[in-house]
Amino acid sequence: MQTLRSRRFATLARLVRYGWVGLFALLLAACHTDMYSQPKFQTYEPSSFFADGRSSRPNVPGTVAVGQVQTDTYLYTGMIDGQLGDVMPFPVTADLLARGQQQFTIYCSVCHGVAGFGQSMVAERGAIVPANFHQQRLLDAPIGHFFDVITNGVYRGDPNNGGYQSMFSYASRVKPEDRWAIAAYIRALQLSQNATVDDVPPEARAQLGR
């Protein structure tokens, strides 16, 4: 049987034993507040310092984010002096076409079909028919047009005046170099449907089995 006195003594002993934990926690809390209540703005907090009342400041004009220097305008717009260009901004290689085929299969074939005839599962069920790349207008279109369509999408009419976007932009999903690779691959698809033996270089004709 414990006496009242020995129980009190046990409580005191426990306090001494564990008291330092509480003291330590108190110390930590104390040094916390200094950094916690430093002068700063929370996200979107108003500020009376700037005339427009915003604490978040717009970028200084001419600011360029790391890795986003766009000095080669043709690579990023497909335009030369405001006109769609008809040349590739870099050489077309077999690797580039393979990359274009892969990206086309991922992003475009679901609607336009693997051969670009505009026949696909989506086309069968959708309200707007995806373009057929083998129609004369697109056979004649400069390659910059394909880059432009992937970058900006397609509009029917003026979106501010009852028009709408009939194909969405792929700019956020497909990087510029890959958009050109897809454009080159579409050109190859177009050629493939209208080619004759004369288009094959003589030294490669043997591979056709003729």
Name the site residues for ligand HEC (rule: CB under 6 A).
107-108, 110-112, 122, 128, 130-131, 146, 149-150, 154, 156, 166-167, 170, 174, 182
CB 85 within 8 A of CB 91: no
CB 47 within 8 A of CB 55: yes
The least CB distance from residue 119 to ligand HEC, in Å, is: 12
The least CB distance from residue 159 to ligand HEC, in Å, is: 12
The least CB distance from residue 157 to ligand HEC, in Å, is: 9
Backbone angles phi, psi at 156, to 5 degrees: -110, 110
CB 184 within 8 A of CB 103: no
The least CB distance from residue 102 to ligand HEC, in Å, is: 12
Residue number, 96 or 108, with CB nearest to ligand HEC: 108
Residue number, 27 or 106, with CB nearest to ligand HEC: 106
CB 82 within 8 A of CB 89: no
Residue number, 27 or 139, with CB nearest to ligand HEC: 139
Beta bridge partners of 164: 156
CB neighbourhood size of 182 (10 A): 25
Look-up of token digits 């330092």 = 20
CB neighbourhood size of 67 (10 A): 5
The least CB distance from residue 107 to ligand HEC, in Å, is: 4
Give residue 16's region: left, alpha or beta (phi > 0; psi -120 to 50). Answer: alpha
Residue number, 55 or 152, with CB nearest to ligand HEC: 152
Residue number, 54 or 153, with CB nearest to ligand HEC: 153
